[in-house]
Copies of this chain bind each other. A is one copy, B any other.
Amino acid sequence: MRIAIDAMGGDHAPDVVVAGALEAAREWADTTIILVGDSARIEPLLQGTKPSNLVIRHAAEIIEADDEPVKAVRRKKDASMVVAGRMVREKEADAMISAGNTGALMTTGLLVVGRIAGIERPALAPMIPTMDGKGVLALDLGANMDSSPEQLLQFAIMGSIYRDKVHGVANPRVGLLNVGTEAMKGNELTKAAYPLLEQAPIHFVGNVESREVLKAPCDVLVCDGFAGNIMLKSVEGAASVIFSVLKKEFTQNLFTKLAALILKPGLTKFRRSFDYSEHGAAPLLGIDGLLLKSHGSSNAFAIKNAVRQARIALQNDLVRSISKEISKGSEL
């Protein structure tokens, strides 16, 4: 397996990306790690310890976090992210991982690598942490603001296959993000998507209210990117406000400080479970190649974990499985 890693993407690139790549190369001797980026900056970070299964592919340009995605991908043809995407398209790499600009990675997927035949829109599918620790794969969360019912159906199929192939969840439960549980609830989009999901070759469990998501009522949550983003950021916002108030309460006086000390271990552990960066890389599903988006603030451990995810997805032939299922649908 050959996995290309965008060495220049992410808040702490290239340092932590190179460190994570090194760890991955050491752990999996059967995998070639290709660090794509500025070799003059990558070389010194290897400190002469380069394992034989780690190689550098020089790329002179960088797509920055605030670059306009489409423009950046079109103009910076020698950017590390774009070069990695080209390697996937030309079968020089089996997968790519980037912690860089999310929009640019989606554009790289669409314009450089290309879609699976029959897929209307690729979808970004991060894991949402849940109380039971297992998480819900939500899609789309980023790639598309306006979706059609047919696109939601494709998201459901792709998400199901991913959960099965990569997470080993047999017959994953698929829910539709909605404002109520009854079949006729929702807006025009969800009302039209519901019957399509009912008839699809998936385990559809019906509508899921955003209030319930953290209780893991499903393994795959289907939504358009706008509603999904509103949901995710509302949860983040509420958690952030509550924890900041807790902090304030904890520091009121000597007694509350003492109380805080006692409670701290449990709460820190809990707070971490709400940290989205701890839940692995998000696949960009529907692209004719394996693309994984690591969180921008990823540390070396997160980068290594993304390599682990990529290996499992490759071993289980994720992309071909999606392609097969989608082509079945279009034959009907």
Contact = CB atoms under 8 A, between A and B. Distances in A.
Nearest to A248: B266
B255 A262 contact: yes
Contacts of A266: 249, 252, 256
A146 B189 CA distance: 9
Interface string A94-133: 0000000000000000000000000000000000000100
Interface in A240-262: 240-243, 245-246, 249-250, 252, 255-256, 258-260, 262
Interface stretch (A26-34, A47-55, A208-216, A289-297): A208-216
Interface string A196-232: 0000000000000111111100000000111101111
B238 A214 contact: yes
Contacts of A270: 245, 249
Contacts of A262: 255-256, 258-259
Contacts of A215: 237, 241
Contacts of A250: 263
Contacts of A258: 259, 262
Given A241-B214, A249-B266, A270-B249, A233 B259 contact: no
A170 interface: no
Given A211-B240, A214-B238, A262-B255, A249 B267 contact: yes
A204 B232 CA distance: 25
A183 interface: no
Contacts of A210: 229-231, 233-234, 237
Contacts of A246: 267
Contacts of A46: none
Interface string A3-40: 00000000000000000000000000000000000000
A237 B249 contact: no
A233 to B, nearest CB: 4
A187 B189 CA distance: 13
Contact of A234 (B235, B240, B241, B259): B235
Given A234-B234, A256-B262, A245 B131 contact: yes
Contacts of A177: 230
A212 B249 CA distance: 21
Given A214-B237, A270-B249, A187 B256 contact: no
B227 A230 contact: yes
A69 interface: no
A232 B234 CA distance: 8
Interface of A: 131, 145-146, 177, 179, 186-188, 190, 209-215, 224-227, 229-243, 245-246, 249-250, 252, 255-256, 258-260, 262-263, 266-267, 270
20 contacts: A131-B241, A145-B186, A146-B188, A187-B226, A210-B230, A210-B231, A214-B237, A214-B238, A215-B237, A230-B231, A230-B234, A231-B231, A239-B242, A246-B267, A250-B263, A255-B262, A256-B262, A256-B263, A259-B259, A263-B263
The 10 closest A-B pairs by CB, nearest first: A259-B259, A234-B234, A211-B237, A238-B238, A211-B233, A145-B187, A249-B266, A179-B229, A259-B262, A210-B234
